[in-house]
Amino acid sequence: MYSLLSGLMFFSGLMVFVSSRKHMLLMLLSLEFVVISLYFFMFIYLSKLGFDYFFCMIYLTMSVCEGALGLAILVMMIRSHGNDFVLSFSSLW
């Protein structure tokens, strides 16, 4: 039951990520939702098998670092361009 919920969370996060290509903040939030759903699935899988949760803590630490890096890039982009529209700037400049 919980693995089905985790799969539903994962695919809904991916659908939001694919459908919201205009704002960088919405893309970052949907990526964080996908990361949390993967963490939830990993936690359920490891608890069913009876393993230790040490890998979950490493994964959670790396996902926090990824979120902080994404927010830093967002702040840098807003300071340089003035908004968080992805389509308003070109990465080829």
pLDDT, tens digit, 9 for 90 and up, residues 48-89:
888 888 888 899 899 999 989 988 988 888 888 777 676 666
DSSP secondary structure code for residue 76 in this structure: H
CA 60-41-70 angle, 5° bins: 40
Query: What is the spatial distance between Cα 34 and Cα 14, in angstroms, rounded to a whole number?
Result: 7
User: Which amino acid would we find at residue 39?
Assistant: Y
pTM tops 0.75: yes
Closest to 3 measured CA to CA, from 57, 31, 45, 55: 45
Instruction: Match 């903040």 to its residue by tokens.
Output: 25
Tell me the domains of the chain and their CATH numbers: 2-88 (1.10.287.3510)
Question: What is the band of 37 on the pLDDT scale with cuts at 50, 70, 90?
Answer: very high
CB 10 within 8 A of CB 37: yes
DSSP secondary structure code for residue 3 in this structure: H
Condensed to tens digits (0 to 9), the pLDDT of residues 10-24 reads 899 889 888 877 777
Closest to 69 measured CA to CA, from 24, 22, 12: 24
